[in-house]
Amino acid sequence: MGSRRRQIPDHGGDRNQRTGRVFPAAADFEVESRGRWTAAGLLPERVMTHQKGRASDQRAEFDWDALQLRIGDRPAQALRPGTQDLLSFPYQLGLLPDLGASRSLPIVTGKKYADYRVEVVGDEDVEVPAGTFRCLHLRVPGVATTELWLAYQRALLPVKIQHVDRKGDLYVQVATAIEISQEPQ
């Protein structure tokens, strides 16, 4: 159904890439996010969507020095600190202080820039191909709803992500393996 990959090259460890691929019935699309690791966590620099192997107009450029965000061909707008893209936010959640409290996060989808409410559902045991984990269950409600399960014993990395789109189609991503070379400090 889908895949998600996080890659951190060896040169200084400050560059990262996240790629998500979903295969709905009619269209094949891939979202790619590129950015940096900082003391505050992930700092997206660019997010792009490719459909059927070709770049689409769904893209965003983050200019952190000027605090400007450009979505597609639209004029630049103010970029708020802490903004994430659709692929980076599940990983950034585990790096936030006081994750047990509900909050809103500014997220860029490639089409729009908005605040998304993240609600705490509670703790649950979740079984996925990578194992059984005690998780913090979070929900991002809306017309399309996303639920995330972050594993306590795996640095709060997402082990399951479930998304129900506006049409009611369900997409589920589960961890098949988790390798952490160094636990975050």
| Residue 40 binned pLDDT confidence (cut-offs 50, 70, 90) | confident
Q: Is the whole model's pTM more than 0.75, yes or no?
A: yes
If you write DSSP's letter for every residue of 119-156 in order, what string do you get?
Answer: EEEEEEEEEETTEEEEEEEEEE-SSSEEEEEEEGGGTT
pLDDT of residue 28: 63
For β-strands 84-85 and 103-108, DSSP reports them as parallel
pLDDT tens column, 4-27 = 444 433 333 444 444 444 434 334
